[in-house]
Chains A and B, each alone.
Chain A
Amino acid sequence: MSLVALSRKKSPWLLHFETGGCNGCAIEVWACLTPVYDVERFGMVNTGNPKHADVLIVTGCVNARSGRVLRNLYSQMPEPKVVIAVGVCACTGGIFHDSYNLAPGADRAIPVDIYIPNCAARPEAIIDSVLHAVDLLEEKGRSYDARRS
């Protein structure tokens, strides 16, 4: 395994973006980073810079304005990358689904790999999804490396 592939597996960095919604899922994502749930034991670090990130966590429903920012962030992330939609808002729009200015789900703006429903998503579910993301990242990384070589 090359060094890059190893670092992808052992230390994926997270980028969190709240696109709308009510913050409920955002604080649960933050709770995951802190001592009780602690995803840092898997080598995951929260970063504010999309160019350092491997996993994008989207919480909340997407409207035109935040969708633009979301696409921008997504396109700045280096390949390979995984997107997780946390909370029913990010999956389908949830309770706000028939509001006048929302897209039903984050997947209308960017490709989403993993969906976690529930309002608000529980920290255990978020931890589970980031672990899936690690596997997915490894897989995507392998095909990405194969394409490049």
Chain B
Amino acid sequence: MIGKTVIPFGPQHAVFPEPFHWRLVMEEERVLDAIPGIGYMHRGIEQLATRMEFAKTLFLAERVCGICSFMHALAYAESLEKLMDVEVPPRAKYLRTIWAELARLQSHLLWIGLAADAFGFESLFMQAWRVREYVMDMVEFTEGGRVMTSSVTIGGVRRDLHEEAIEFLLENLDKLEVGFEEVYQVFTEDPLIKHRTVGVGILSKEDSIRLGAVGPTLRGSGVAQDMRMLGYAAYGELEFQPVVEDSCDSYARMVVRLKECFQSINLIRQAIKKLPDGDVLVKVRGKPEGEVVTRIEQPRGELLYYIKANGTKSLERFRIRTPTLSNLPPLMHMIKGACLADVPVITLSIDTCIACTER
């Protein structure tokens, strides 16, 4: 009989840009158990926030994660606006929607590239990232930065879209759609990609609910749950339906993300068409007091912010629950029984973001 072996996977791995660590208990080629090792990226953000001024914490929240920095700033601003009873001007709400969808697009395209890299499909990785640069151009042109944009603030947004920027957006969206269509076709038709993903990392509908999956992981298992349906920012006034796939494997989760890219392009076009006139920022006075919970849909799933404030200049408690944390138990469930070669693909299929998880 062959005994068990323990194989360390990570923390430095060519496929992941982040230090992600597994201790895989193996029997021959099968994974018996997977123990995640975390703490490589802990920065103590929650504690730092209780020492900073609440207005500056916005920048800290933005730096929880560089890939979805906009989403974190949005969640923080929305929470404080609820606490301080601020009514955001309608134009600002639409701008937030547009930028949030751009952030989703760039995050999904980034993931698509990394997934292609995990299959060993280098040219597709390059193509996905080439297409992503159209989105980055739009982000840079309209928000003034590529990664850290600080365009959301408490009470509205810091920048307005002028005519030229809207034209630029529409033009680039067309280019993006053409480029993305090609990538989409390869992903959905290529037999090699199907071979690596179909039937790999099964997460049944019951398991996904029981283990608390969120976002594309949950929607890939046939549950139509999308926090955007709650109607924060301007989502309540736009038309869309959650993207759902029900084959419950890595392929389904991949297709959900691919289709969400088209959905985001569509949402941006809708929002530009309906963009109201007016101010984008209202003045906010006073200090926050009370408790609030905000839920928004990040590219990876539901993001939950809990904030408790006591009327002083810094917050009393700042708690973030990120989608990857919710998706870790389902991931551990999926990895058991998988082949060693499938571990990177399955791990990527939930779109891990360690920077968020460990904060």
Cβ–Cβ < 8 Å partners of A17 in chain B: 12, 19
Q: Decide if the interface of chain B is mainly helix, strand, loop or mixed.
A: loop
- Residue of B44, B132, B147 near A28 (CB, 8 A) is B147
Given A48-B13, A95-B60, A120-B146, the answer on whether A26 and B18 have CB atoms closer than 8 Å is yes
Given A21-B355, A66-B40, the answer on whether A30 and B18 have CB atoms closer than 8 Å is no
- Is B66's CB within 8 Å of the partner chain A? yes
Once the chains bind, are A27 and B43 in contact (CB under 8 Å)?
Answer: no
Once the chains bind, are B48 and A23 in contact (CB under 8 Å)?
Answer: no
Cβ–Cβ < 8 Å partners of A20 in chain B: 40-43
Q: Decide if the interface of chain A is mainly helix, strand, loop or mixed.
A: mixed
- Cα-based distance from A20 to B42 in the complex (angstroms): 7
Q: Considering only CB atoms, which chain A residue lies closest to B128 in the complex?
A: A34
Once the chains bind, are B39 and A65 in contact (CB under 8 Å)?
Answer: yes
- Residue of A35, A48, A122 near B14 (CB, 8 A) is A48
Cβ–Cβ < 8 Å partners of A111 in chain B: none
Once the chains bind, are A95 and B130 in contact (CB under 8 Å)?
Answer: no
Cβ–Cβ < 8 Å partners of B80 in chain A: none
Cβ–Cβ < 8 Å partners of B17 in chain A: 16, 18, 23, 26-27, 29-30
- Cα-based distance from A17 to B19 in the complex (angstroms): 8
Those of B130-162 within 8 Å (CB) of chain A: 130, 132-133, 136, 146-148
- Residue of A27, A69, A99, A100 near B110 (CB, 8 A) is A27
Chain B interface size band reads: 35 or more
Once the chains bind, are B130 and A96 in contact (CB under 8 Å)?
Answer: no
Q: What are 20 pairs between A and B in contact, CB < 8 Å?
A: A18-B18, A18-B19, A20-B43, A22-B63, A22-B64, A22-B65, A23-B17, A24-B66, A27-B66, A34-B113, A35-B126, A36-B130, A46-B14, A48-B12, A50-B12, A65-B39, A66-B19, A69-B40, A95-B63, A120-B147
Cβ–Cβ < 8 Å partners of B64 in chain A: 22
Given A48-B14, A69-B19, A95-B60, the answer on whether A22 and B129 have CB atoms closer than 8 Å is no
- Is A5's CB within 8 Å of the partner chain B? no
- Is A61's CB within 8 Å of the partner chain B? yes
Given A66-B40, A96-B44, the answer on whether A24 and B12 have CB atoms closer than 8 Å is no
- Cα-based distance from A120 to B11 in the complex (angstroms): 22
Given A69-B12, A96-B43, A101-B42, the answer on whether A23 and B65 have CB atoms closer than 8 Å is yes
- Cα-based distance from A99 to B41 in the complex (angstroms): 12
- Is A63's CB within 8 Å of the partner chain B? yes
Q: In the assembled complex, how far is the CB of residue A18 from the closest CB belonging to chain B, in whole angstroms?
A: 5
- Is B347's CB within 8 Å of the partner chain A? no
User: Interface centre among A23, A27, A65, by most B CB within 10 Å?
Assistant: A23
Given A22-B64, A24-B69, the answer on whether A30 and B129 have CB atoms closer than 8 Å is yes
- Residue of A35, A63, A96, A120 near B129 (CB, 8 A) is A35
Once the chains bind, are A27 and B39 in contact (CB under 8 Å)?
Answer: no
Q: Mark A30-63, 1 if CB is under 8 A from B, else 0.
A: 1100111000000000111110000000001101
- Cα-based distance from A73 to B13 in the complex (angstroms): 12
- Cα-based distance from A39 to B42 in the complex (angstroms): 30
Once the chains bind, are B59 and A73 in contact (CB under 8 Å)?
Answer: no
Chain A interface size band reads: 35 or more
- Cα-based distance from A85 to B47 in the complex (angstroms): 26
Cβ–Cβ < 8 Å partners of B355 in chain A: 21-23
Those of B2-52 within 8 Å (CB) of chain A: 11-15, 17-19, 39-45, 47-48, 51
Cβ–Cβ < 8 Å partners of B338 in chain A: none
Instruction: For the A-B complex with A22-B69, A47-B14 known, give 5 more contacts whose Cβ atoms are closer than 8 Å.
Output: A23-B355, A29-B17, A34-B130, A48-B13, A95-B60
Q: In the assembled complex, how far is the CB of residue A57 from the closest CB belonging to chain B, in whole angstroms?
A: 11
Cβ–Cβ < 8 Å partners of A92 in chain B: none
Given A18-B18, A28-B146, A119-B148, the answer on whether A34 and B44 have CB atoms closer than 8 Å is no
- Cα-based distance from A141 to B18 in the complex (angstroms): 30
- Is A25's CB within 8 Å of the partner chain B? yes
Q: Considering only CB atoms, which chain B residue lies closest to A72 in the complex?
A: B12
- Is A128's CB within 8 Å of the partner chain B? no
- Is B67's CB within 8 Å of the partner chain A? yes
Cβ–Cβ < 8 Å partners of A123 in chain B: 146
User: Interface centre among A60, A61, A102, by most B CB within 10 Å?
Assistant: A60
Q: Considering only CB atoms, which chain B residue lies closest to A69 in the complex?
A: B11
- Cα-based distance from A102 to B48 in the complex (angstroms): 12
- Is B353's CB within 8 Å of the partner chain A? yes
Those of B335-359 within 8 Å (CB) of chain A: 353, 355
Cβ–Cβ < 8 Å partners of A63 in chain B: 39-43
Once the chains bind, are A23 and B40 in contact (CB under 8 Å)?
Answer: no
Cβ–Cβ < 8 Å partners of B136 in chain A: 31
Q: Considering only CB atoms, which chain B residue lies closest to A31 in the complex?
A: B129
